[in-house]
Structure 1
Amino acid sequence: MDCDREINLRRVALAGGRHALALTAAGTRSADELAGRVRGLYAWLRLRPEQSVGLWLASGYDFLCAFIALALAGKRIVMPHQMQEGAVRLMGDHFAALITDQPVAGFAGPQWLPAQWPAACDSEPDASAFSREVELVLFTSGSTGDPAPIRKTLAELESEIATLESAFGREVQDLTVIATVSHQHIYGLLHVLLWPLARAAAFLDTPCHYPEVLASEVLRLEPAILVSSPTHLSRLPESGVFTEAAERLRVCFSSGGLLHERHARAFAALNGRAPLEILGSTETGGVAWRRQSESSLWQALPGVALATTQEQCLQVRSAHLGDPAGFTMGDKVRFAEDGRFELLGRADTIVKVEGKRLSLTELQKRLEAHPWIEEARAAVVRGRRDEIGVVLCLLPAATGRLERGGRRALNQALREYLADYFEAPLLPRRWRYVQALPRNAQGKVLAADVLSLLEERQS
């Protein structure tokens, strides 16, 4: 793909081709099959009165067909971040119909299943279908857990694909994509479906959630690309079945959170190189990248302009952000002389307890630096007396200590460790030990979930 020319995904999809596009349970689907199915669905959708359509499909191939058909028909494409009935009620005002394989009992509008779609056809959309602006609505859980709509355009996604191609096109080429993440969110949508479509690469139709399934697919499809998240990459190197497969991966992408240096090193020991981490958000799209086997600093993606506010928060401007005013992220950074930068933590993690300022991010980092702690999250529990609480995942070395000495002894040992860095009023008073931190479908730990655990007071 020539990354200097404008990308039009609707034209790419209808251009077809004999090359493999999607590897499904029912067999390989070619680009020609996609084009025919998209035309049939488009011809039907353009006659429907509903202008906003929700899209939720487990099959990446089905999802891509519906996504392109909706774009050609000029519909607003709404991507719910989950499909529980209560969540759909909260988001329901944003779409009048649903294309889904998971019907929702409480949704009043029409719901169209893939089995009900019209047959493929060869009718050609009119010229305006390829150029009209297409709006997308995605949702982010934010820090509270409530779904917040984020509006983007198809043109912005196409611009981001051009950016990714400019940065990593030589590495990914036309290799098959295997994912552990969902295409229902912007990271998976771009990396698993839309970018492969643009560069005529194939993708595995559904995510691989288990190491043995992932390993089998990597060995079958090598050399391949893995699109994953820190949640999965923290566990994969521990799986014996994944060890051989890791060597066969050409590139691994990670996004949706920060990959711990320990986990980056463990992956690099198997693959030779650490994953390519993409920093960004639903609002900004991709912002910067790094590969920790080369550097811990972040490098801006091509065409992304970065600056900082007086509070050291990262300011972003890019073509795929859309808003010329840019966007200020909640991440504090420090720039190096060469333009790369270090993440210093979230600005919104500065809290006051008993009149003293505390960075929850610093507290979490101090805990994670301790040889007993795998992951840590901190929060303020408000009440008659505000208290700092922490939720911790222990490394194996500390699990036996917890069983032998009990939680009180472990709490006290960690308090004594933290006392070297923080004043007494800022030391945790509530401690929860869990096997895994609570994460949403995007692999993020929400502040509301951490607080909920801490409010179930056990110590």
Structure 2
Amino acid sequence: MKTFPFLGPFLPDTPLAWYQGASISPHTFLGHLGHCLKTWPSSSHVINLCQDRYAFLLGFAAALLRKQITLLPLNRATESLQEIGKAYPGCLYLTDSNETIPGIEKLSLNPSQLKGSSPIERPLIPYDQMAVIAFTSGSTGNPRPNYKSWGSLVQVAKKTGQRLGLELRRKDILTIVSTVPHQHMYGLETSIMLPIQKGWAIYSGRPFFPEDIRSALTTLPPKRILVSTPIHLRACMLEHTQFPALESILSATAPLSQALAHQVETAAQTKLTEIYGFAEAGTIATRQTARELNWHLLDGLELASCASGYSVSTSYFPDPVPIPDSIQAQGPHEFSLGGRPSHMVNIGGHRTSLEELNEKLTSIEGVTDGMFYIPDEGENPGDRLVAFIVAPGHSQVSILTALRKKGDPVFLPRPLIFLERLPRNPTGKLPRETLHALFQTHLSSTGQKIIS
């Protein structure tokens, strides 16, 4: 039976994680894991809600060793979690906080309270063992389960690490600090799987604000990688955050403009790599956004045309996986990204995409966040585009004037709705239903007809 180790090439006394200011060695981790396994309950599935990254790692490892599948919910809303409980009867939920989910058995985990225990052997996990069920983003329709084997998670981690091309010595201590939740596929792949497979350390916290990010990075040994999103990186640039020396920065696609990528690289004096993927496949491609427009597939992946556009195949996919975005192939291993088909905008024969419009909106100086919205038919008089914007000091006139200079006026939003902040989820996304609710609130506040 083919297996892959849970832990990569860690030296015995090097940090596997930084937890509450102290380093956790592989030896200590295996002792903590052994302690957990002594009382770990039986179940087929576990909803891992641990907010601390080290607690999540312990729960993830224990579930794998008990042949349990970890469920990664889209959000922490009680009703959403109860729906998962109904879909997977008998599942448990693991938490490191006091939250309760009526109707689902609770399992608590606090690493600081684990007693010393003899470390278990370094685990070997069967390649084909089902490890995770991740759910599609709510911004693309109704959430659907996506099954991930242990082998596929390991392959993505190894290929992503190879793509970064970092030159490290055997004894170098490299730590990944992430601003994104590990319950999301991007967070799981980059802040859990990538470090444990490459022998790098995990920072257990999840800094959010620019000063928190700077502080977390500066408390660690010199070699660090920041995993983040364009929203977090833009906030750091607006506050002129002083980054310490970094080996690399990884960013999700939200989208990330080339101008912001240049700015971040200059401020951090390192290279920024943008990650492209989706729940059905995980990470499939990267680009160095400050220098590249096209995306490059990870080694061993290949594009092919299919009924819906293009699919991607590799040895660890049982079947080719359709790519949900509109792309232009530049050969079997390279492509340019056009956006989701549902994000394409056609007004009077003029075409663009929401991604392009959002990039133009957020590139206006003084705009801290913004998002275009395509209303449902009849929802907005004249079926005009709507835009939500966070831009202290700007007015309707100044924003519309700036947009006119950047593109076709047929795409100017009516209305342009100013907000103090956009209610993005922890990975920086704004699902369509959230934008719909925002627009309905605006219509209600202005006395206009609300379309349900």
Asked if Structure 1 and Structure 2 have the same fold, meaning a TM-score greater than 0.5 normalized by the shorter chain, the answer is yes
Is the 8 Å Cα contact of residues 360 and 379 (structure 1) preserved in structure 2? Answer: no
Aligned to 1:215: 214
Structure 2 CA distance, aligned partners of 1:20 and 1:215? 21
SS in 2 for 1:289: strand
Give CA deviations for 1:385-435 in whole Å, capped at 9, x if unaligned: 561232243656xx34x1xxxx4x56875786689463xxx7643321234
Aligned to 1:344: 338
Which segment is superposed worse, 119-128 or 280-289?
Answer: 119-128
Partner residue of 2:427 out of 433, 442, 445: 442
Is the 8 Å Cα contact of residues 363 and 378 (structure 1) preserved in structure 2? Answer: no
Is residue 14 of structure 2 the alignment partner of residue 19 of structure 1? yes
Q: Report the CA distance shift for 1:297/1:123 in structure 2 as closer, same or farther (over 3 A).
A: closer
Q: Report the CA distance shift for 1:293/1:427 in structure 2 as closer, same or farther (over 3 A).
A: closer
Structure 2 CA distance, aligned partners of 1:224 and 1:73? 33
Is residue 166 of structure 2 the alignment partner of residue 170 of structure 1? yes
Structure 2 CA distance, aligned partners of 1:358 and 1:454? 23
Partner residue of 1:295 out of 292, 296, 316: 292
Aligned pairs (5 A) from 1:400-419: 400=394, 402=395, 407=396, 409=397, 413=401
Which segment is superposed worse, 140-149 or 90-99?
Answer: 140-149
1:68, distance to aligned residue in structure 2 (A): 0.8
Structure 2 CA distance, aligned partners of 1:310 and 1:126? 44
Q: Percent identity?
A: 21
Matched to 1:253, the amino acid is: L
Which segment is superposed worse, 123-132 or 356-365?
Answer: 123-132
SS in 2 for 1:58: coil
Matched to 2:302, the amino acid is: A
Aligned pairs (5 A) from 1:245-264: 245-246=243-244, 248-264=245-261
Is the 8 Å Cα contact of residues 74 and 129 (structure 1) preserved in structure 2? Answer: no
Is residue 87 of structure 2 the alignment partner of residue 88 of structure 1? no
Which segment is superposed worse, 147-156 or 276-285?
Answer: 147-156
Aligned to 1:42: 37
Structure 1 CA distance, aligned partners of 2:212 and 2:364? 34
Give CA deviations for 1:289-348 in whole Å, capped at 9, x if unaligned: 11123222211111111234477x44211234x232x11222222234695322122212
Partner residue of 1:431 out of 391, 416, 421: 416
Is the 8 Å Cα contact of residues 31 and 117 (structure 2) preserved in structure 1? Answer: yes
Q: Report the CA distance shift for 1:268/1:40 in structure 2 as closer, same or farther (over 3 A).
A: same
Aligned to 1:71: 64
Task: Please report the TM-score for the alignment, with normalisation by the length of structure 1.
Answer: 0.82
Matched to 2:246, the amino acid is: L
1:154, distance to aligned residue in structure 2 (A): 1.5
Is the 8 Å Cα contact of residues 126 and 150 (structure 2) preserved in structure 1? Answer: no
Which segment is superposed worse, 178-187 or 110-119?
Answer: 110-119
Is the 8 Å Cα contact of residues 379 and 390 (structure 1) preserved in structure 2? Answer: yes
Structure 2 CA distance, aligned partners of 1:76 and 1:310? 32
Give CA deviations for 1:370-391 in whole Å, capped at 9, x if unaligned: 6686644131233275612322
1:451, distance to aligned residue in structure 2 (A): 2.3
1:367, distance to aligned residue in structure 2 (A): 4.8
Q: Report the CA distance shift for 1:340/1:206 in structure 2 as closer, same or farther (over 3 A).
A: same
Aligned to 1:111: 106
Q: Report the CA distance shift for 1:333/1:28 in structure 2 as closer, same or farther (over 3 A).
A: same
Aligned to 1:141: 137
1:67, distance to aligned residue in structure 2 (A): 0.7
Is the 8 Å Cα contact of residues 273 and 293 (structure 1) preserved in structure 2? Answer: no
Q: Report the CA distance shift for 1:135/1:216 in structure 2 as closer, same or farther (over 3 A).
A: closer
Aligned to 1:8: 4
Is the 8 Å Cα contact of residues 431 and 454 (structure 1) preserved in structure 2? Answer: no
Q: Report the CA distance shift for 1:223/1:59 in structure 2 as closer, same or farther (over 3 A).
A: same
Which segment is superposed worse, 359-368 or 203-212?
Answer: 359-368
Structure 2 CA distance, aligned partners of 1:419 and 1:110? 54
Aligned to 2:272: 275
SS in 1 for 2:194: helix
1:135, distance to aligned residue in structure 2 (A): 3.5
Aligned pairs (5 A) from 1:336-415: 336=330, 340-350=334-344, 359-361=352-354, 363-364=357-358, 367=361, 375-383=370-378, 387-393=383-389, 399-400=393-394, 402=395, 407=396, 409=397, 413=401
* Gap regions ≥5 residues in structure 2: none
Matched to 2:342, the amino acid is: D
Aligned to 2:152: 156
Q: Report the CA distance shift for 1:172/1:287 in structure 2 as closer, same or farther (over 3 A).
A: farther
Q: Report the CA distance shift for 1:235/1:427 in structure 2 as closer, same or farther (over 3 A).
A: closer
SS in 2 for 1:170: coil
SS in 1 for 2:247: strand
Q: Aligned pair count?
A: 433
SS in 2 for 1:192: helix
Is the 8 Å Cα contact of residues 42 and 66 (structure 2) preserved in structure 1? Answer: no
Is the 8 Å Cα contact of residues 391 and 418 (structure 2) preserved in structure 1? Answer: no
Task: Please report the TM-score for the alignment, with normalisation by the length of structure 2.
Answer: 0.83
Is residue 446 of structure 2 the alignment partner of residue 451 of structure 1? no
1:161, distance to aligned residue in structure 2 (A): 1.5
More helix by share: 1
1:18, distance to aligned residue in structure 2 (A): 2.1
SS in 2 for 1:99: strand
1:169, distance to aligned residue in structure 2 (A): 4.8
* Gap regions ≥5 residues in structure 1: 1-5
1:251, distance to aligned residue in structure 2 (A): 0.6
Structure 2 CA distance, aligned partners of 1:342 and 1:445? 23
1:141, distance to aligned residue in structure 2 (A): 3.0
Is residue 190 of structure 2 the alignment partner of residue 197 of structure 1? no
Structure 1 CA distance, aligned partners of 2:248 and 2:419? 32
Q: Report the CA distance shift for 1:57/1:411 in structure 2 as closer, same or farther (over 3 A).
A: closer
Matched to 2:136, the amino acid is: T
Aligned to 1:232: 232
Is the 8 Å Cα contact of residues 21 and 29 (structure 1) preserved in structure 2? Answer: yes
